[in-house]
Amino acid sequence: MKQEVNGAPKEERNTNYQRKFEKVNEIINRLGRSQSALIPILQEVQEEYRYLPEEILTYIATALGLSPASVFGVATFYAQFSLEAKGKYVIKVCDGTACHVRGSEPVLEAIKKRVNLSGKKKTTDDLRYTVETVSCLGACGLAPVVMINDKIYGQMTPEAITIILDQLEKEDAADE
Amino acid sequence: MEQKNTVLIDGQVVELNGEKNILELTRKIGIEIPTFCYHSELSLYGACRMCVVEVEGRGIMASCSTPPAPGMKILTNSPRVQRVRRTVLELLLANHDRECTTCDRNGSCKLQELANRFGVKKIRFGERDVKLPLDHSSHSLVRDPNKCILCGDCVRMCAEVQGIGVLDFSGRGSNTVVTPAFHKNLADVECVNCGQCGAVCPTGAIVVKDDTDRAWAAIHDPEKMVVVQVAPAVRVALGEEFGLPAGEIVTGKVVAALKRLGFDKVFDTSITADLTVIEETHEFITRLQKGEKMPQFTSCCPAWVKYAEHNAAEYLKNLSSCRSPQQMFGSLVKKYWAQEIGKQPEDIIVVSIMPCTAKKYEAALPQFATDGVPDVDLVLTTQELARMIREAGLVFDQLDIESFDTPFGFTTGAGVIFGATGGVAEAVLRAAHEFVTGQPIDQINFEAVRGFADRKEATVEIAGQEIKVAVVHGLANAKALLQEIKEGKADYHIIEVMACPGGCVGGAGQPISPTMETKKERAKGIYNADKLSQLRKAQDNPVVGKFYERWLAKPNSDAAHDALHTAYSNRGRISGEEIKLMTSQEPDQLDIAVCVGTCCYLNGAYDTLQKFMKLAADSELKERINLHATFCLEKCEQGPVIKVDDEIINGVTPDRVEKIFTEKICTKLK
Ligand code: SF4
Ligand code: SF4
Ligand code: FES
């Protein structure tokens, strides 16, 4: 019987760890160990992990002969990098003025309830969902707006978003 | 056509002489343009905008990063310049925790000084509302990010002069802070406690940890005898705190002040510096005669020792095993002298007055305590001593001079020059010849190793053999030298390393001083004190001779080793998470860690790791293996290093993996 660890079968998780770490080394070797390669390396590594884990940043610093503090500095300077684990689905709820007035808050609550997130936690333990609020997605005409990965959903209501998430889960299960 | 090589500054014609920037030029003609981020020994940053001037036709420019060009018309105090400066100050102050009265740098803060100088009376912008946590983790320093003005001086100091890079900017915009990696505390990263970051910080964002309360408590404890030792570099700097020029020798006043403060005995660390010379030189000669690994590095700078423990694993064996003079002193007092005067070690409190912040860290190391009683109980910097003198209301200038107590008060010039870069090397050179040949050497002064050059060298002939000596100060210079040695491009017999630029006279515990000139004056004072000494060689110190007779037998004896020497260990550069590669849920699992810290990484640890991953994945026992990559198992000299449960295995090169896997792992799993 396979054991379940954090939602993923153990075997798969382990190959995942190894595959990702091998990929990190492949990226470093391919892009070279010069300091100017740092940003491209971080970009590719982030694609692998969906964020930049601390220990991997330390590893990259070691490989490039940089101090961990300066790698950390670069990783926190650019908005494109994230140092927190992000879920497979990043759900952004717009809380700009227009969206707020039109009820983005109940939508946010509904999402959190649906994916089982409480308090300040942004990402689910199984790394499936990350829920964030943003100040404006530039689609005020459709307020309230929710963005899931690259897709925009307008005129959301708590009911509508719950249906969308149900649907997403179904597709996801079929994929796996 | 003749182009005149001059500029006009505030209407004054000024000739150009290759000045790198407008700032240098104005300073030459006696105009003091304010700066935060400009330090002549650091790279240009040009971010604080405090140093603005107005250049006709070009507008407002940062004078620190603008080279003067012939014909420029420069205004240093125009209404526009004044406005910009004040706005810069207001913005900095708006974002600054302005609790000046309780700040350690109250009175020596540049922000405070400039706000006062430029008459900033009100701040038009809102207050900062976030309060960031302070970092009290280090024995030597306290970081208060709420006082940081983001000038980056500390960042460049640590990276450029010390070659480490503990601190850097993180985040962007209004969230920018200066911090160690991952917002860790100083004690959890590769900081060597040299304090140089704090010495250049214009504000109270990085300060020396204040131990004066502990010192007062010791003094006021009637049960304890409080003994104080004073390091060489203190006597040429303390005067600055009381308006005397840098480099003035105030030894007698320091002793008098300490006695008036209530210390029971006042001693001189220079005597154990003499002892260090004797021990270290004998150690060197033994190495030489046995044909052991060269060079021998000095070990009296705890910041350098920590640097080596983090970064130079393969050279730890080359560090002299001698403890620093501070620790030799503490050890002798508690081990031997206490007995002689009929006291228990715990009834004596040993306090040090040091130019150095790293000495605070050193005194707290567990290897320098016996049964939980530290050899040196507490370390105060020159700055803290000045504070105590002020608190006690002593008028320094009017103190009558006094002399050190016996027995630890009798010193030679050799011990005193420990305070300047090159001093230890010179003291060793004054002794080595005599120890080998029995003939004292005529030469006393070794000018070649003095001064502030990045690297200094000297060669002496001892019994027909050429001995090459190198001296470096500032850890970036040490780093460069280590690299050359590694590449086989440099070979020396003795290498003196001091972490602080200028040696101990430039320590971060010394009075805050912005310039190299001050440090040079202090060094001059040190060599003057040497010149004034009747005895100039450590081996001529009769009291040290008595120590051997009564306590230590002879140099490098077992007793000497026990009391005066130590050992070093590798240290990881950063604490934190490991990289998980295989996780096991089985009850009887086996833990395998493969080190990918700097040394092991460079020795090919990744290939080793990859082999393990493959073998483990193919093995039927894989369910029970916990495999991870870790940063530094602190056994760096023979990397790649792995750890199987609690067993450390060295030298696990890829070709040895299979054997080790079968022998160490498979057998354990069965
Ligand atoms: S104390 Fe020295 S090593 Fe530590 S952060 Fe400051 S400059 Fe760097
Ligand atoms: S801690 Fe001090 S030196 Fe460092 S950036 Fe802040 S204000 Fe400047
Ligand atoms: S001193 Fe010139 S910009 Fe800071």
Mean pLDDT over the full length of chain B: 93
Distance, CA of B223 to CA of B235 (rounded, Å):
30
Residue in chain A nearest B617 by alpha carbon: A15
- CB within 8 A of B332, min separation 6: which ones? B272, B408, B547, B551, B563, B564
A79 touches chain B (CB under 8 A): yes
Q: Distance between terminal CA atoms of chain A?
A: 19
What b/e readout covers A46-58, taking b as 16+ CB neighbours within 10 angstroms?
bebbbbbbbbbbb
- Each residue of B385-420: pLDDT tens digit? 999 999 999 999 999 999 999 999 999 999 999 999
Distance, CA of B21 to CA of B68 (rounded, Å):
6
* Candidates B182, B581, B583; nearest CB to A21: B581
Atom 2 (ligand 1): residue with closest C-alpha? B194
Q: Is B158 in the pocket of ligand 1 (CB under 6 A)?
A: yes
State the pLDDT at residue A54: 92
B654 touches chain A (CB under 8 A): no
Q: Is the pLDDT of residue B561 over 90?
A: yes
Distance, CA of B237 to CA of B250 (rounded, Å):
8
State the pLDDT at residue A7: 47
Distance, CA of B409 to CA of B403 (rounded, Å):
8
Q: Extract the tokens encoding B31.
A: 């105009």
A13 touches chain B (CB under 8 A): yes
Distance, CA of B514 to CA of B247 (rounded, Å):
15
Q: Is the pLDDT of residue B470 over 60?
A: yes
Distance, CA of B415 to CA of B436 (rounded, Å):
20
Q: Is the pLDDT of residue B523 over 90?
A: yes
State the pLDDT at residue B1: 42
State the pLDDT at residue A1: 36
- Each residue of B20-52: pLDDT tens digit? 999 999 999 999 999 999 988 899 998 899 999
**Mean pLDDT value of segment B349-378:** 96
Q: Is the pLDDT of residue B340 over 80?
A: yes
* Candidates B166, B579, B582; nearest CB to A67: B166
Q: Are B223 and B347 in contact (CB under 8 A)?
A: yes
Q: Which of residues 15-44 of A touch B (CB under 8 A)?
A: 15, 17-18, 21-22, 25
State the pLDDT at residue A176: 66
- CB within 8 A of A144, min separation 6: which ones? A93, A94, A98, A99, A100, A102, A103, A104, A107, A155, A156
Q: Which of B157, B611, B613, B628 to mutate to test the interface with A (most CBs of A within 10 A)?
A: B613
Distance, CA of B256 to CA of B149 (rounded, Å):
39
- CB within 8 A of B622, min separation 6: which ones? B582, B616
What b/e readout covers A68-91, taking b as 16+ CB neighbours within 10 angstroms?
bbbbbbbbbbeeebbeebbbebbb
- CB atoms inside a 10 Å sphere around CB B223: 7
- On the CB side of B145, CA atoms within 13 Å amount to 20
- The closest of B528, B525, B285, B554 to B429, measured between CA atoms, is B285
Backbone angles phi, psi at B226, to 5 degrees: -110, 120
The single residue listed with the structure tokens 């060197």 is B284
**Mean pLDDT value of segment B422-447:** 93
Ligand 1 center from residue B96 Cα (angstroms): 22
State the pLDDT at residue A3: 42
DSSP B479-542: HHHHHHHHTTS---SEEEEESSTTGGGG-TTSPP---HHHHHHHHHHHHHHHHH-S---GGG-H
Q: Are B502 and B522 in contact (CB under 8 A)?
A: yes
Which residues from A are below 8 Å from B600, CB to CB? none
Per-residue confidence band for B176, with pLDDT thresholds at 50, 70 and 90: very high
**For residue B182, what are the CA distances in angstroms to A52, A57, B37, B169, B173?**
12, 10, 24, 11, 18
- CB within 8 A of A93, min separation 6: which ones? A99, A104, A107, A108, A111, A131, A132, A133, A134, A144, A146
Q: Is B46 in the pocket of ligand 3 (CB under 6 A)?
A: yes
Atom 2 (ligand 2): residue with closest C-alpha? B201
Q: Are A40 and A29 in contact (CB under 8 A)?
A: no
State the pLDDT at residue A2: 40
Residue-range domains of chain B with CATH = 6-77 (3.10.20.740), 91-208 (3.30.70.20), 212-564 (3.40.50.1780), 579-669 (3.40.30.10)
Q: Are B469 and B298 in contact (CB under 8 A)?
A: no
Q: Which of B575, B579, B589, B623 to mutate to test the interface with A (most CBs of A within 10 A)?
A: B579
Q: Three-state SS string across A19-35, please?
A: HHHHHHHHHHHHHCCCH
**Mean pLDDT value of segment B411-433:** 96
State the pLDDT at residue A5: 44
State the pLDDT at residue B123: 85
- Each residue of B263-294: pLDDT tens digit? 999 999 999 999 999 999 999 999 999 988 89
Q: Three-state SS string across A86-148, please?
A: CCCEEEEEECCHHHHHCCHHHHHHHHHHHHCCCCCCCECCCCCEEEEEECCCCCHHHCCCEEE
- On the CB side of B114, CA atoms within 13 Å amount to 22
The single residue listed with the structure tokens 């950390």 is A72
Backbone angles phi, psi at B348, to 5 degrees: -110, 130
Residue-range domains of chain A with CATH = 4-77 (1.10.10), 89-175 (3.40.30.10)
Q: Are A60 and A44 in contact (CB under 8 A)?
A: no
- The larger pLDDT score, comparing residue B128 to residue A79, is at A79
State the pLDDT at residue A11: 66
> How many H-runs (helices) and E-runs (strands) does chain B carry?
23, 24
Per-residue confidence band for B313, with pLDDT thresholds at 50, 70 and 90: confident
Side chain identity at residue B66, one-letter code: T
Judged by CB atoms closer than 8 Å, whether chains meet at B170 and A55 is answered as no
Q: Three-state SS string across B262-292, please?
A: CCCEEEECHHHHHHHHHHHHHHHHHHHHHCC
State the pLDDT at residue A4: 44
Distance, CA of B75 to CA of B656 (rounded, Å):
71
Characterize the bridge pairing of strands B348-354 and B378-381. Answer: parallel
Distance, CA of A100 to CA of A102 (rounded, Å):
5
- CB atoms inside a 10 Å sphere around CB B617: 16
**Mean pLDDT value of segment B127-151:** 92
- The interface pTM score, or ipTM, of the predicted complex is 0.88
Residues of chain A predicted below pLDDT 70:
1-11, 176
**Mean pLDDT value of segment B111-139:** 89
Which residues from B are below 8 Å from A70, CB to CB? 159, 165, 168
- On the CB side of B316, CA atoms within 13 Å amount to 21
